């Protein structure tokens, strides 16, 4: 039941529409005040009365019934308390009815959302800087799917550019098949770093690299085979991480995929009179929009990142006819996205408004900043491995006789990495700390997982669950928990609207805290017969909701911990 709607309809009258009421209704910060509040000063113009008088007048329109338990007018506000029993009955029934689908909807039916995320660079380390785009993108992917959107996950591979000429040159000079095959990305990265070191004293290397890149572009077989192999090795390496994080893609069409799709874009820009020459390069002037020019073609005729992104956006529109196309990319690239979105708009693509840059902040390790240039990077794989290892030690210490410790440690460790990256609003810079993300008493996934294990344990000790009836006046702990459980569908929707999986992460902690308060304050297994059944049902519903919410983030729940 949509309670806001229900209240809004009761309050609406000749001067006031249900929509106006609904959008004015708020949730008071202190639950003791009520479940919803209507600030009446908003309607002073319509009624030409003081807020206090308006509140009094509106109050008469909503007698307490089976749904609304209590209405009071206080200081120009109209406060509503829902009927706790009714709310609990409806919420629990819905959770049990919908099960794994509780929180989902068909809001997005018939609409396609493309999500460009993770987008790894071939032969470059997959480092901690890629954590956010990968887990944020994957969470948005699952959330959008849960809301009924047709969702396309795209790994826009960084597989184009002169660096691949450098890599071929380095491989030909110092590499061998076996070492690279075994070492994967790390071996390729070493070659790349060595190339830069040696090129400092030997400028001829750069010419050689350029020549190799040209060969790739011209379709030279050997060079392209090498390049394809580098790509395969990189993807094999990152796949290990994707498997751990439960991340999937529907397309791996990367930058090189658009090599032959840029010419029409450049021609269209020229036809529309948007292209300008500047120092031999071709640009689109964006001064009128307060931005530096968007570079389309370099003076040597080679294309740029923005050009390939424009070709990609056009291709995606044609192929998927998206409703929205999201780019989950660090805020450092803000300007790039603003520029090429603008150029597409100037080309008359009305759908340019549906392109969204979902920007996020930097992740750094507590242990010290990283530097990509010299090759001393923090590999994401190492961060995840270390988290799993630490999780194992903690779990082992807390519960030495636990079965399937390895599996538990994997769920806890991986969860900690994901949750650590998602918990804060995405635009914030974060410092990743192993101790913080693995704190059992913090705002962490392991706290939530531990709460789930606690609920599971109560349920397994209870044996078969019978019929339950909701008491006429549930206690505060029960009601607060019920209210939180009832909010889940709305939380999922706002997470999607704001592109903020952190809403779901925070929601998990909120529910876990409310459950723990209920667990410690109220007897569950020892409660008297009727109450026991209700409390067990509430426990089961909580576990269901937490599992659904964590699943959206890609986090599993161990049965026991």
CB nearer ligand ARG, residue 52 or residue 286 = 286
CB nearer ligand ARG, residue 92 or residue 136 = 136
Stretch that binds ligand ARG, among 114-122, 204-212, 275-283, 372-380 (CB under 6 A): 114-122
- Tell me: does residue 163 bind ligand ARG (CB under 6 A): no
CB nearer ligand ARG, residue 158 or residue 556 = 158
Determine the Cα–Cα distance for residues 404 and 411; give it in Å rounded to an integer.
Answer: 11
The DSSP code for 120 is: P
Binding pattern for the stretch 269-308 against ligand ARG, x by CB under 6 A and - elsewhere: ----------------------------------------
Determine the Cα–Cα distance for residues 266 and 281; give it in Å rounded to an integer.
Answer: 13
CB nearer ligand ARG, residue 147 or residue 312 = 312
Among 51, 84, 91, 116, interactor with ligand ARG by CB under 6 A:
116
Phi and psi at 454, nearest 5°, equal -60, -45
Q: How far is the CB of 73 from ligand ARG (least distance, A)?
A: 53
Angle at 508 between CA 90 and CA 35, to 5 degrees: 45
Residues 323-342 that bind ligand ARG (CB under 6 A): 327, 329
The pair of three-digit structure tokens given for residue 231, joined into one six-digit string = 């790509």
- Tell me: does residue 156 bind ligand ARG (CB under 6 A): yes
Stretch that binds ligand ARG, among 53-61, 115-123, 360-368, 501-509 (CB under 6 A): 115-123
CB nearer ligand ARG, residue 254 or residue 474 = 254
Q: How many CB atoms lie within 10 A of CB 381?
A: 18
Contact 7, 21 (CB under 8 A): yes
Q: What share of the chain is helix, strand, coil (3-state, %, to 5)?
A: 60, 10, 30
Stretch that binds ligand ARG, among 15-23, 113-121, 263-271, 318-326 (CB under 6 A): 113-121
Q: How many CB atoms lie within 10 A of CB 536?
A: 22
Q: How far is the CB of 118 from ligand ARG (least distance, A)?
A: 9
Determine the Cα–Cα distance for residues 412 and 410; give it in Å rounded to an integer.
Answer: 5
CB nearer ligand ARG, residue 309 or residue 500 = 309
Measuring CA to CA, how many Å separate 557 from each of 389, 420, 494, 548?
A: 18, 16, 24, 10
- Angle, helix 305-320 to helix 263-271, in steps of 10 degrees: 100
Q: How far is the CB of 360 from ligand ARG (least distance, A)?
A: 12
Contact 427, 331 (CB under 8 A): yes
Residues 343-402 that bind ligand ARG (CB under 6 A): none
CB nearer ligand ARG, residue 332 or residue 460 = 332
Measuring CA to CA, how many Å separate 492 from each of 107, 324, 486, 549?
A: 11, 18, 12, 9
Q: Which bin fits 397, alpha (ψ -120 to 50), beta or left (φ > 0)?
A: alpha
Q: How far is the CB of 349 from ligand ARG (least distance, A)?
A: 16
Q: How far is the CB of 512 from ligand ARG (least distance, A)?
A: 34
Among 104, 112, 119, 456, interactor with ligand ARG by CB under 6 A:
119
Determine the Cα–Cα distance for residues 138 and 197; give it in Å rounded to an integer.
Answer: 36
CB nearer ligand ARG, residue 120 or residue 139 = 120
Determine the Cα–Cα distance for residues 438 and 445; give it in Å rounded to an integer.
Answer: 8
- Tell me: does residue 159 bind ligand ARG (CB under 6 A): no
- Tell me: does residue 79 bind ligand ARG (CB under 6 A): no
Q: How far is the CB of 276 from ligand ARG (least distance, A)?
A: 23
CB nearer ligand ARG, residue 329 or residue 453 = 329
- Tell me: does residue 158 bind ligand ARG (CB under 6 A): yes
Stretch that binds ligand ARG, among 107-115, 116-124, 375-383, 399-407 (CB under 6 A): 116-124
CB nearer ligand ARG, residue 121 or residue 502 = 121
CB nearer ligand ARG, residue 282 or residue 339 = 339
Question: What's the order of all strands across the beta sheet hosting 77-82?
Answer: 36-39, 77-82, 68-74
- Tell me: does residue 434 bind ligand ARG (CB under 6 A): no
Element (H, E) at 116: strand 112-116
Determine the Cα–Cα distance for residues 398 and 171; give it in Å rounded to an integer.
Answer: 49
Radius of gyration of the chain (CA): 28
How far does CA 55 lie from the centroid of its chain? 41
CB nearer ligand ARG, residue 76 or residue 137 = 137
- Tell me: does residue 121 bind ligand ARG (CB under 6 A): yes
Q: How far is the CB of 145 from ligand ARG (least distance, A)?
A: 20
Among 309, 443, 480, 540, interactor with ligand ARG by CB under 6 A:
309
List the beta strands (DSSP E) in 286-378: 294-297, 324-330, 355-360, 363-365
How many residues bind ligand ARG, per CB under 6 A? 9
* Positions in the binding site for ligand ARG (CB under 6 A): 116, 119, 121, 156, 158, 309, 312, 327, 329
């Amino acid at each position: 039941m949509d309670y806001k709607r229900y209240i809004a309809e009761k309050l609406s009258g000749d001067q006031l529409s249900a929509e106006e009421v609904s959008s004015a209704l708020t949730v008071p910060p202190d639950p003791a005040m009520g479940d919803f509040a209507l600030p009446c000063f908003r309607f002073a113009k319509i009624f030409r009365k003081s807020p206090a008088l308006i509140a009094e007048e509106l109050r008469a329109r909503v007698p307490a019934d089976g749904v609304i338990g209590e209405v009071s007018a206080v200081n120009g506000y109209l406060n509503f308390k829902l009927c706790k029993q009714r709310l609990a009955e409806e919420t629990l029934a819905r959770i049990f009815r919908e099960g794994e689908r509780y929180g989902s909807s068909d809001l997005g039916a018939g609409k396609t959302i493309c999500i460009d995320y993770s987008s790894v660079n071939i032969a470059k380390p997959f480092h901690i800087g890629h954590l956010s785009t990968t887990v944020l993108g994957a969470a948005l992917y699952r959330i959008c799917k849960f809301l009924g959107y047709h969702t396309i996950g795209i790994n826009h591979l960084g597989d184009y550019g002169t660096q691949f000429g450098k890599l071929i040159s380095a491989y030909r000079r110092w590499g061998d098949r076996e070492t690279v095959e075994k070492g994967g990305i790390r071996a390729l990265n070493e070659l790349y770093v060595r190339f830069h070191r040696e090129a400092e004293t030997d400028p001829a290397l750069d010419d050689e690299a350029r020549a190799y890149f040209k060969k790739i572009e011209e379709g030279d077989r050997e060079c392209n085979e090498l390049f394809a192999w580098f790509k395969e090795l990189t993807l094999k390496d990152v796949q290990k991480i994707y498997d751990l994080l439960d991340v999937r893609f529907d397309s791996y069409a990367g930058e090189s995929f658009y090599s032959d799709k840029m010419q029409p874009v450049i021609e269209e820009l020229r036809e529309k009179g948007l292209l300008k020459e500047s120092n031999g390069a071709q640009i689109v002037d964006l001064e009128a929009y307060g931005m530096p020019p968007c570079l389309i073609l370099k003076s040597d005729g080679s294309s740029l990142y923005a050009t390939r992104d424009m070709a990609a956006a056009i291709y995606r529109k044609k192929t998927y006819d998206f409703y929205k196309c999201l780019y989950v990319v660090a805020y450092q690239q803000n300007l790039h996205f603003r520029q090429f979105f603008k150029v597409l708009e100037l080309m008359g693509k009305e759908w340019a408004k549906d392109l969204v840059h979902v920007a996020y902040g930097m992740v750094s390790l507590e242990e010290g900043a990283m530097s990509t240039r010299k090759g001393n990077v923090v590999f994401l794989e190492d961060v995840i491995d270390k988290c799993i290892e630490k999780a194992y030690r903690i779990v082992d210490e807390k519960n030495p006789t636990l079965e399937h410790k390895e599996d538990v440690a994997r769920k806890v460790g991986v969860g900690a990495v994901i949750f650590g990256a998602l918990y804060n609003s995405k635009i914030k810079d974060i410092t990743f700390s192993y101790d913080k993300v693995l704190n059992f008493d913090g705002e962490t996934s392991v706290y939530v997982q531990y709460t789930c294990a606690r609920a599971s344990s109560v349920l397994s000790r209870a044996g078969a669950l019978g019929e339950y009836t909701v008491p006429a006046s549930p206690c505060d702990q029960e009601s607060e928990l019920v209210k939180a459980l009832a909010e889940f569908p709305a939380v999922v929707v706002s997470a999607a609207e704001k592109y903020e999986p952190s809403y779901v992460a925070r929601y998990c902690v909120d529910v876990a805290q409310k459950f723990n308060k209920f667990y410690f304050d109220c007897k569950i297994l020892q409660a008297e017969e009727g109450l026991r059944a209700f409390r067990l049902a509430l426990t089961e519903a909580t576990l269901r909701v937490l599992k659904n919410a964590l699943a959206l983030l890609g986090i599993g729940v161990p049965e026991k911990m």
